[in-house]
Amino acid sequence: MAASLIRLHFHDCFVQGCDASILLNDSSSIQSEKNAPNNLNSVRGYDVIDDVKSEVESICPGIVSCADILAVAARDASVAVGGPTWTVNLGRRDSTTSGLSQAATNLPNFSDGLDRLISLFGSKGLSEREMVALSGSHTIGQARCVTFRDRINDNGTDIDAGFASTRRRRCPATNGDGDDNLAALDLVTPNSFDNNYFKNLIQKKGLLQSDQVLFSGGSTDSIVTGYSKSPSTFSSDFASAMVKMGNIEPLTGSAGEIRKLCSAIN
């Protein structure tokens, strides 16, 4: 679940800030972000957060927010697969609203180009370098065929032919056929947090279009090259970027609430 828990925190923070709005289910007053195009049938880990919340509530009721649990879980997920650790700032509160419409526009898409990614992360106060570092979380986790089908079938100059051929075996060209078949985002060490993701990009073996654009003759090429040569630089930059991402527009003081259940407002 490591990759999914890191992504859950990321998808939370990019919509209304790090406020656990992504965890709210549909209700009379809530249009759930879980139904946004980039979340539906894709984001997971909700049950893990619910389990943690119920344990925490039994010991320390009404104190620890779901938003803080998301932030801590992302850090612990990184550590669990050999990634860096960092000190998680605490004190976020939970939203009483969701941002379904924002989720459609504020989350990156697998087909996004470099300019779009730079502008999206920039709108959240994150630099190009931080964007590349955070993208390095794709050193773990998997993607569905529907997200990379076009890339492996386009015979583009930005993809290694052998890599494309291998990936086509489990991802048929026809829409609707094998859409949910999974492939590792990092084919070399799919379950280890390391810098192979960046080495893959240099070899034109990024699985998603939004991965490969980071090394495609643009302004981020030098950052990718640097991370491919120095795992320690990537590791420390990733940790710093996760802290900064976890500080996007938190609710503090008397804003929001501390939910009793992460999936519903009190």
Catalytic residues: 11
Q: Is 33 annotated as a binding residue?
A: yes
- Does 21 carry a binding-site annotation? yes
**Cross-strand bridge partners of residue 144:** 182
* 88: nearest Cα among 15, 166, 6: 6
194 labeled binding residue: yes
Task: Please give the Cα distance from 102 to 37 (Å, whole number).
Answer: 11
**Is residue 204 a contact partner of residue 224, using CB atoms and an 8 Å limit?**
no
Distances in whole angstroms, Cα of residue 68 to Cα of each of 88, 152, 181: 8, 38, 32
Q: What angle do CA 196, 199, 202 make, to 5 degrees?
A: 155
130 annotated binding-site participant: no
Q: Which residue has the tokens 């991802």?
A: 171
- Which residues, in sequence order, are bridge partners of residue 183? 143
Q: Is 52 part of any known ligand binding site? A: no
Asked if residue 211 belongs to a known ligand binding site, the reply is no
Q: Is 94 annotated as a binding residue?
A: no
The reply to whether 87 sits in an annotated binding site is no
HEC profile of 124-193 = CCCCHHHHHHHHHHHHCCEEEHHHHHHHHHCCCCCCCHHHHHHHHCCCCCCCCCCCCCEEECCCCCCCCC
Query: 189 a known binding residue?
Result: yes
Residue 27 assigned to a binding site: no
Residue positions in the annotated binding site for heme b? 138
Residue positions in the annotated binding site for substrate? 108
Residue positions in the annotated binding site? 12, 15, 17, 19, 21, 33, 108, 138-139, 186, 189, 194
Residue positions in the annotated binding site for Ca(2+)? 12, 15, 17, 19, 21, 33, 139, 186, 189, 194
